[in-house]
Amino acid sequence: MHLDPALLQSLAEKVGTPFWLYDAATLRQRISEIQLITSDGLQARFAMKSCPATKVLSEMHQAGVWIDAVSGNEMLRALHAGHASGHNPPVILYTSDVFRDNALEVVLQQGILPNIGSPGMITQLEAAGYKGDVSIRVNPGFGHGHVNSCDTGGPSSKHGVWFGDLAETAKKITDAGMRTVMLHSHIGSGPRFQELHDNLERLADEFAALLPLFPDLQAVSLGGGIPHNYRDPADQIPLEPLRALFARCREKLCSAAGRPLRVEIEPGRYFVASSCVLVTRVAEVKATQTNEKGQGATFAMVDAGFVDLVRPAMYGSYHGIEVVPQDGGARESGWVVVAGPLCESGDVFTRDDAELLNPRHLPMPLSGDLLVLRDAGAYGYAMSSNYNSIGKAPQVWLEPDGRMELISRRETLEDLLKAEVSEVL
């Protein structure tokens, strides 16, 4: 994603800072890359929790990418963006461990395929009079997230039905008058390709062994797991070997089932991470001095914080940082801590996974410069919040021909107060 400093300065004047900038060309390139590794019988879904903007969901719809939704409102957002309801085919899949808010209502009214992660959800569906098909999210006992706290499979993961309980769960579904038409697992986007490869092979083997329990099965989802290299975006994992791997996995599963099965993959991060940046402005540069408590640091204080991009504060995640000098001139480099405006000591973008300051070697910023946080499309705006009563930053869409569109405005105090009431209960 090439960034034109003049464009960034112009946008900052028009919409203020911080703001999110999406590059349509980069997003479409990532979609095409995933399409190249799919083949007959292999379907890609978008884990929309990573980036639920209507514009992004519409791009997925136009490209024939299906949706994995994890809440009632996510299902409704996907429908709003043009994705079809119903089971045939199940364009929208609802994946959860708990029915919350309007989720069960939307599943029933819109005919969305529920991907249950806890056996108790079967009881709730039955009580609601549901007699349709279901999918089961399986905890296969292994997996790896991009950091340890994001494990999506194994004894420490809350997600899915433990693989040892599947026979009992399958019987419960049948007794309730429902059919299991899909098995799903998500083993996480671990940082190393070989780990992903080995885990997918193992997952396909385990699912193949389970198929006799599910005579009505139509599909198997191997989940997401395609990682994005945040430290070196130019050095991404090779996708061509995955094409062959997914084809082998499907052949193995179809052979075990004795009939054709649809195999699904479910990237979120890989689709959108590189398509968006967070642009913020440097308010001030200040320093602390070394003393008996520790090393002094130079702080570039910016107007974005973890209300905008929480991943560094939550996981110690790395995002590339670029300084865009206001005067366009060259700067000498130095070690800088980039920190935000929030009343919270953890509001720092340059941290490591031990939650310690991790200064970045950057051109020394000055007050008024813009600063760009790269690869912020996945779990960026989607995880932003209103902490300190700050409104969410606007989102801007950039087309290859230079056309720009504001796709969400900056939230105001009135937006934040809309849900507040004074009602006697």
**Contact partners, residue 231, CB within 8 Å, separation at least 6:** 318, 320
- Residue 2 has what pLDDT? 84
- Residue 146 has what pLDDT? 42
Which one of 51, 150, 249, 343 is the catalytic residue?
343
- Residue 196 has what pLDDT? 77
- Residue 144 has what pLDDT? 53
SS3 84: coil
The answer to whether the CB of 28 falls within 8 A of the CB of 398 is no
Work out the pLDDT band at 312, boundaries 50, 70, 90.
Answer: very high
Work out the pLDDT band at 274, boundaries 50, 70, 90.
Answer: very high
The answer to whether the CB of 413 falls within 8 A of the CB of 341 is no
Q: How many CB atoms lie within 10 A of CB 299?
A: 18
- Residue 149 has what pLDDT? 43
Name the percent of the chain lying above pLDDT 90.
Answer: 77
Domains of the chain by residue range? 24-271, 274-417
User: 425 vs 196, which has greater pLDDT?
Assistant: 425
The CATH superfamily of 24-271 is Alanine racemase (3.20.20.10)
- The reply to whether 276 belongs to the active site is no
Residue range 75-133, pLDDT digits in tens: 999 999 999 999 999 999 999 999 999 999 999 999 999 999 999 999 999 999 999 99
User: 420 vs 194, which has greater pLDDT?
Assistant: 420
- Residue 190 has what pLDDT? 55
Work out the pLDDT band at 147, boundaries 50, 70, 90.
Answer: very low
Residue range 3-12, pLDDT digits in tens: 899 999 999 9
Burial 358-391 (b: 16+ CB within 10 A, else e): bebebbbbbeebbbbbbbbbbbbbbbbeeeeebb
Work out the pLDDT band at 142, boundaries 50, 70, 90.
Answer: low
Mean pLDDT calculated for residue range 392-408? 97
Helix-helix angle 103-110:120-127, to 10 degrees: 60
Residue range 348-379, pLDDT digits in tens: 999 987 778 999 999 999 999 999 999 999 99
Question: Beta strand 66-69 with 42-47: parallel, antiparallel or unpaired?
Answer: parallel
Work out the pLDDT band at 195, boundaries 50, 70, 90.
Answer: confident
Phi, psi of 36 (to 5 degrees): -70, -25
CATH hierarchy code of domain 274-417: 2.40.37.10
The structure tokens listed for 97 are 């461990």
Mean pLDDT calculated for residue range 38-67? 95
Name the percent of the chain lying above pLDDT 70.
Answer: 95
Mean pLDDT calculated for residue range 21-35? 97
* Runs of H (alpha helix) within 281-334: 311-315
**Peptide bond before 18: cis, by omega within 30 degrees of 0?**
yes
Mean pLDDT calculated for residue range 168-180? 96
Which amino acid is located at 244 in the chain?
A
Work out the pLDDT band at 58, boundaries 50, 70, 90.
Answer: very high
pLDDT at 409 over 50: yes
The structure tokens listed for 10 are 């112009």
